[in-house]
Amino acid sequence: MTLAPAVPTLPARVDAVLARFLTARAVFGTDDDLRDLLATTRRFVLHGGKRLRPALCYWAWHGLGGADSGAGTGLAGFDAAAVLAGLADTPAPGGDGEQAVIAGAALELFHCFALIHDDIIDASTFRRGRLSLHEEFAQRHAGHGWGGDAAAFGRGAAMLCGDLCAMWAEELLAECGAAPDRLRTAQSLFALMRTEAMAGEYLDLLGTATGHRPSGPDSRRVLRVVRLKTARYSIVRPLQIGAALAGADQRELVACAAFGEPLGRAFQLRDDVLGVFGDPALTGKSVLDDLRQAKPTMLLAETWSRAAGADREVLRTHVGDAELDEAGADRVREVMTGCGALAAVERRIGSAHRRARLALAAWELGDQARRELSGLADAAVHRSR
């Protein structure tokens, strides 16, 4: 008996689009000195990541009338591992659903830009279980014995990789094949998302610089960063871009936001908890970075507002200490747990998650898309990485 080829999963389809797009840019790397830059960027884009934003984009598109046969994509049965390793050709696009998949891939490229630059800004050592890109380039510089400052070279080279991802994201979105009027709306939302992400990143940076107050971070400012840097960028705009590609009207774009805003808050608050209490083997990131930088999170704001006496002395001693070790971090975690801050943040996560689910229940969507978005909402909140 001959078995029909398996229809690839959505993340595999997104990865195939990204691999095909980056392979087409190989001309950029025909020069020996440039080939390494392209290869490093390709590796960062294609290996790792939850592909959350492409999934939100796709299922909003699908739920609002986008028809996708799945098997008609031209990707059925392809060897994803071989494609990502560069050992097989990437399949050509096809099928009605490919425009949403390509738009999702563009969102993923922009996300890679944001991660690379965020790691430079935060001086993060690890990302997705590997050295962050600027650290990788710095070690390459040192290993070859090149002249100049290895760290400065690493930051500069990684920044250029991030810039490529940002430029290519816009180019890829323009190639998604949507009708011109729908594409224009999607591009306007994409541009708005980029601006919001930059504003949120600056406010986060500003909060870190100015947040060393006796009372800790201002929770209102923290929520403003969450809204711009995560809720809009990670959830609302990907949903709305997918909806726009399906021809959504203003009412449906508002429904995207009603679901996405609270889900984005829950997503970021979970990220903040994992940044201190997570398992680095799962998150791929250090659990010391946020505390060393005194990053203004809701978890830290709740801790400062509830801690007293000796607990406050622990915070003053260890939060913001650039040399913080695991023993000091454990003491901070004990304060966060003991004063009720961790439980308070978990309640905020639960409340935002419930609001998102209520908004999803009220949103007029196809049944499959509703189930998928419900699953994505649960996974975004109840996750360990």
CATH code of 168's domain: 1.10.600.10
Nearest to 256 by CA among 269, 270, 242: 242
Domain end point (choices 177, 202, 234)? 177
Give residue 275's pLDDT. Answer: 95
Task: Identify whether residues 124 and 250 lie together within a single domain.
Answer: no
- What Rg value do the Cα atoms of the chain yield, rounded? 22
pLDDT tens for 63-93 read 999 877 553 333 333 344 444 444 444 444 4
Task: Identify whether residues 192 and 206 lie together within a single domain.
Answer: yes
361 CB contacts (<8 Å, ≥6 apart)?
Answer: none
pLDDT tens for 183-236 read 999 999 999 999 999 999 999 998 888 866 666 788 888 999 999 988 999 999
> Is the alpha carbon torsion for 346, 195, 106, 285 positive or negative?
negative
Q: Can you give the residue range of the structural domain that contains 306?
A: 179-385
pLDDT tens for 244-300 read 999 999 999 999 999 999 999 999 999 999 999 999 988 888 899 999 999 999 999
Rounded to whole angstroms, how far apart are CA atoms 55 and 319? Answer: 36
Domain end point (choices 129, 159, 177)? 177
348, pLDDT greater than 60 = yes
DSSP helix/strand/coil, 43: helix
172 CB contacts (<8 Å, ≥6 apart)?
Answer: 17, 21, 102, 105, 106, 109
> Is the alpha carbon torsion for 55, 60, 63, 67 positive or negative?
negative
Domain count, the chain: 2
Beta bridge partners of 131: 126
Give residue 50's pLDDT. Answer: 87
Give residue 159's pLDDT. Answer: 97
Domain end point (choices 151, 177, 203)? 177
Q: Please report the DSSP string for 116-182 in residue order.
A: HHHHHHHT-SEETTEE-HHHHHHHHHHHHT-SS-HHHHHHHHHHHHHHHHHHHHHHHHHTS---HHH
